Structure 1
Amino acid sequence: MSPIIDLDLPLPPTAEQIARDMKRWALGRGEKGMANYRYIFGPRKARELGVSLEELERLSRELSADAFDELLLEKAQLLVISLEDFVQQMDEAGIEWGAFRHVDNDYTAEIIAQFPGRFIGQVLANPHDGMQGVRELERAVVELGLHSFYASPFRYGLPPNDKKFYPLYAKAAELQIPVFVYVTMNYNSALPMDLSHPRHLDEVAMDFPELPLIAGCGGWPWIPDMIGVARRHQNVYIDTESHRPKYLATAGSGWEMLLQFGNTLLQDRVLFASNWASYFQPSTDVLKRVVSEMQALPLKPDVLDKWLYHNARALFHRD
């Protein structure tokens, strides 16, 4: 079995991040449209802190804002994993290196320098910022040494083919770096459900045929369309981000076509990406669990090695 590359390997959150996300995701406190996430993710997020969502809501009403924040931080401390322990988990799970992103590109570069060879960085640059965003992408790659661009329609409220993204795509092509694109549905009730439909990526692939485009989240629930786009364009790759691996092989999950084509015609363009934090709470064996579920998929052994390692290694020129 080859080593493993995880192209969406989020760092373990700090207590402050866990508490902030709890208020945003579980209690529906945040920007417009995010309240819907409370109904979908709230109960599980609350259980991670050892309480029910109803109990958490009651405490948020009864306690002062400061007291409630203090309570969240206290409970969140139980889920904190140090970066050193996380890298040890990577070793135990057989993960050679992984990709991650942070709102602060300089912080991303600091982590990469702290753990040489274990991480690569995805640049965040705002398409609404025009040339300022383009300059930030170039700075992050040329000066900070980051390795790819993460285009998030969800974050910026634009479909992938919106022309505000195009200067960033052009710069990425010039810098010869891959682009990750969030390609899936979203639960934000203030955004269209199909904001990131694979059909939008089709136009980008047509306009930038030399630019490697990685469709994050596999294009679910539009897997047939995602497969069609990948079959049309040799520069389109598909990753498995944010979906628990064991469900990829579950009948009726919608992933059947990816497993079929990913085991045959598209075997060189499917990439393992976990985003483990979207379905597992931080724990001492979380990465082992993710990897073991991937290794159990009904794929030919040589194809599994491609998904888990060789395709990403070749794409990022680490052969």
Structure 2
Amino acid sequence: MIIDYGATPPIPELSLSDGSHLANYRRVYAASEKASARGDLTLGQWFEEADAAGIGLTVLKGRDVETTFGGRVTNEAVAEVVRAHPDRFTGFAGVDPNKGMTAVRELEFAVRELGLKGLNLQCFENRLAVDDRRMYPLYAKCVELDVPVNVHVGVNFSLKSSPDFGRPEMLDRVLCDFPELRVCAAPPGWPWVEELLSVAWRHPNLWIGLVAMRPKLLDVEHSGYGPLMQYGRTILKDRMIVGTAWPMMPMGRVIQEVRDLPIEEDVAERWLGGNAAAFLRL
């Protein structure tokens, strides 16, 4: 089964309530979003596209950036969509580390009461480093609850935040302090791809999310993504996870670009579903 590690289907409650700080993303991804018919699909049509791409399960991610940018995708909204379509979706909670213990309690409620299966942290939107002390209570709670965490790693295109919040080296410090923590770094660290690979090589509980980037770039010389394919088809073949990031990119195109890469078929299947199933413990 193909697992899409991150998409936002056309359900209004899953859109960030205030995304003005992401305006520059619309410029960067304009052509790709046009190809995905952003905003033009009904949910039924979206399911048809997912079926055509062979996607059986999609990960939905909550977000809370209220203290910095005033927006939120609530955990309750994510949980409601998962409950309505339990065979098609699984969900991650989104909390704001700047809220201190309120965020910790919201995470516990989201997992224990709402049934969500992980935590999503968009550090650049919270204007916090991955290893900031305000993140640590949430990492500890994830270990206690035995749920994974998704962490934004790599450059961001918001002109209201700093790219430095996405440096992969900070994950190394976190994983040294929390060796039981399951983390997926997504997107996959560009332009610090080799830095991320070194951290993943060191830590067996770190997966790499091939999300919000064209998979074909792994086979394009000088794209900066090439090392991901070299390590992803060898020593890290069990730790690469694909997400379409729809509506940033068309689902079918992402899946086909993975299959077109010069990698073994069994490796492609791991990237497209097997590794995500292990990470999510499905």
> Does residue 317 of the first structure (1) align with residue 278 of the second (2)?
no
Q: For residue 275 of structure 1, what is the aligned residue in structure 2?
A: 245
Aligned counterparts of 1:211 and 1:118: Cα–Cα separation in 2: 26
Deviation at 1:295, TM superposition (A): 1.1
TM-superposed deviation, 1:17 = 5.8
What is the Cα deviation at residue 44 of structure 1?
A: 4.2
Task: Give the C-alpha shift of residue 208 in structure 1.
Answer: 0.7
2:89 corresponds to which of 116, 119, 126? 119
Q: 2:157 aligns with which of 184, 187, 190?
A: 187
Q: Is the 8 A contact 1:159 1:200 kept in 2?
A: yes
Amino acid at match of 1:180: N
Could you say what secondary structure the match of 2:57 adopts? strand
The match for 2:272 is: 308
Cα deviation code 1:51-103 (max 9, x no counterpart): xxxxxxxxxxxxxxxxxxxxxxxxx9x94322222223222211110101231
Aligned-partner SS, 1:187: coil
Count of aligned pairs between the two proteins: 271
For 2:211 and 2:219, the matched residues in 1 are separated by 15
Match of 1:289 in 2: 253
CA contact (8 A) 1:97 1:119 kept: yes
CA deviations 1:134-154 (Å, max 9, x no partner) are 010011111111111011111
Q: For 1:304, give the aligned amino acid.
A: A
Amino acid at match of 2:9: L
- Report Cα offsets for 1:195-239 as digits up to 9, x if no partner: 110011111111110011100111111111011000111111101
Q: Which amino acid aligns with 2:75?
A: N
Cα separation, 1, equivalents of 2:203 and 2:252: 34
* 1:168 Cα deviation from its structure 2 partner: 0.7
Deviates more, 1:81-90 or 1:232-241: 81-90
Match of 1:256 among 226, 245, 258: 226
Consecutive unaligned residues of structure 1, counting only runs of 5 or more, are 25-29, 50-75, 281-285
Please give the residue correspondences for 1:7-18 in structure 2 after superposition, counting only pairs within 5 Å: 7-12=5-10, 14=12
Q: For residue 189 of structure 1, report the CA deviation from its aligned partner.
A: 3.5
Give yes or no for contact 1:15–1:79 (8 Å, CA) kept in 2. no
Which of 35, 39, 49 is the matching residue for 1:89?
49
Q: CA contact under 8 A between 2:75 and 2:110: conserved in structure 1? A: yes
Corresponding residue of 2:211: 241
Q: CA RMSD in A?
A: 2.5
Q: Give how far 1:125 is off.
A: 0.6
Over residues 153-177 of structure 1, what are the superposed CA-to-partner deviations in whole Å (9 max), with x where a residue is unaligned?
1110001100101111111111101
Amino acid at match of 1:307: W
Aligned to 1:4: 2
Paired-residue identity, %: 37
Answer whether contact 1:247 1:253 (CA < 8 A) is retained: yes
Q: Give the secondary structure class of the aligned counterpart of 2:129.
A: coil
| Structure 2: segments with no counterpart, 5+ residues | 63-72
- Aligned partner letter, 2:209: D
Question: Larger relative CO (CA 8 A, sep 6+): 1 or 2?
Answer: 2
Say whether residues 1:212 and 2:182 are aligned partners: yes
Which structure is larger by alpha-carbon Rg, 1 or 2?
Answer: 1
**1:19-75 Cα distance to aligned partner (Å, 9 max, x none):** x88xx6xxxxx45xx66557645x649x949xxxxxxxxxxxxxxxxxxxxxxxxxx
Which letter does structure 1 place at the counterpart of 2:213? H
Cα distance in 2, alignment partners of residues 147 and 291 from structure 1: 24
Does residue 81 of structure 2 align to residue 135 of structure 1? no
- CA, structure 1 residues 17+225, in 2 after alignment: closer, same or farther (shift >3 Å)? closer
Question: Does the CA contact (< 8 Å) of 2:124 and 2:163 recur in 1?
Answer: no
Amino acid at match of 2:257: E
Match of 1:150, SS?
strand
Q: Secondary structure of 1:275's partner?
A: coil
> CA 1:226 to 1:117, structure 2 compared with 1: closer, same or farther past 3 Å?
same
1:87 maps to a residue whose letter is: F
TM-score (norm 2): 0.88
How many Å separate the matches in 2 of 1:146 and 1:15? 16
The one-letter code of the counterpart of 2:114 is: L
Give the TM-score, by structure 1 length: 0.78
SS, match of residue 270 in structure 2? helix
- 1:302–1:40 CA distance, 2 compared to 1 (3 A): closer
